[in-house]
Amino acid sequence: MFSPAQSTTMLFDAELYNSLDKPWETILQFLGKTLPDLGFTSEEPEVVMDVGCGPGYLSKNYILPCFPNLQAMIALDAWPGMIEEAKTQHPHPRITYAVADIEDRSTVQRWEGEITKLTAVHSFNWLKSQRRGFETVHGLLKRGGEAAFYFPLDGPYYDGMIVTGSDPKFRPYFQNPDYCVPESYYNNYDSLHYQKMLMDIGFKIIHCKDEMKEDILSSDEEFRDVFYSVCPLVKHLPDHLKKDFKEQLFRNILKFNGRTEDGRPINRCKMVEILVRKEE
């Protein structure tokens, strides 16, 4: 049976994911247009935290430049393989990479009350309890500190994974696995749900909006690799079935998305954009 996400500690293919080091246009739009327009980027001395940094290329190449007078950046991921890849492939003297789970406050306690800006891009969708993650963020921020979140609420990736995981060829290998499907997918959450939650925690809402977004990927190979690299079902499969699973996952996700007129694969997803501030 498919159930909401159970844990952020999952087996991702960090090396494969790192090879896909060109962020999607929707991510670049959020970091390069939406956040600057909202006043989030800054020339002030900042201590920045990036939650769910993955292999580090987004932290180093796209988030760090938003803060010219950055004092320090702490980039976190719950999966040790991602942090190992980040330290090897994307080191920077002002970035500290660390394994930590934003749902487990004890793993980030040393930074409580020290963070002035926090980013979380495509990461809160993996959490079992998003509220717990938001509460942890509130504790991490200094008074007046701000946090920006951007993550999918639902989308064809989840549809395609559920269909693929239900195939009789693969299903016997999935005995109560963690499918990492968020509550928002099952409960049809929108931005109003998050506004209420965040205000209840104590944040001031600066911006909170959900919108259908579309990314056009460069090739079928990129489409296959990006979703396969973050699919939590893969670790349960024997090696001889992984190639078939990768191809079927690709086809099942694509059938919910379609292609452009020139044949490139499309990823459509309902996303939420959030910017909040911890009250002074």
| pTM of structure | 0.91
More confident: 4 or 30: 30
Contact 151, 121 (CB under 8 A): yes
Structural tokens at position 64: 């760090």
Number of other residues whose CB lies within 10 A of the CB of residue 192: 10
Q: How far, in whole angstroms, is CA 129 from its chain's centroid?
A: 14
Is 35 a residue whose pLDDT tops 90?
A: yes
What is the Rg, in whole angstroms, of the alpha carbon atoms belonging to the chain? Answer: 18
Q: How confident is the model at residue 280 (pLDDT cuts 50, 70, 90)?
A: confident
Dihedral (CA of 39, 62, 184, 7) sign? negative
Alpha helix (H) ranges present in 49-117? Answer: 57-58, 80-89
Is 17 a residue whose pLDDT tops 60?
A: no
For 229-240, the pLDDT digits (tens) are: 889 999 899 999
CA separation, residue 215 to residues 38, 59, 155, 161, 267 (Å): 23, 20, 12, 19, 5
Q: What percent of the chain has pLDDT over 90?
A: 82
Average pLDDT taken over every residue of the chain: 91
Is 76 a residue whose pLDDT tops 90?
A: yes
8: which DSSP letter?
S
Q: What percent of the chain has pLDDT over 70?
A: 92
Structural tokens at position 71: 């004092």
For 89-138, the pLDDT digits (tens) are: 999 999 999 999 999 999 999 999 999 999 999 999 999 999 999 999 99
Q: Report the alpha-carbon distance of residue 267 to residue 85 in Å, rounded.
A: 26
Q: How confident is the model at residue 263 (pLDDT cuts 50, 70, 90)?
A: very high
The bridge status of strand 266-278 relative to strand 203-216 is antiparallel
Structural tokens at position 56: 């580090």
Token pair 């390069």 is found at 32
pLDDT score recorded for residue 13 = 53
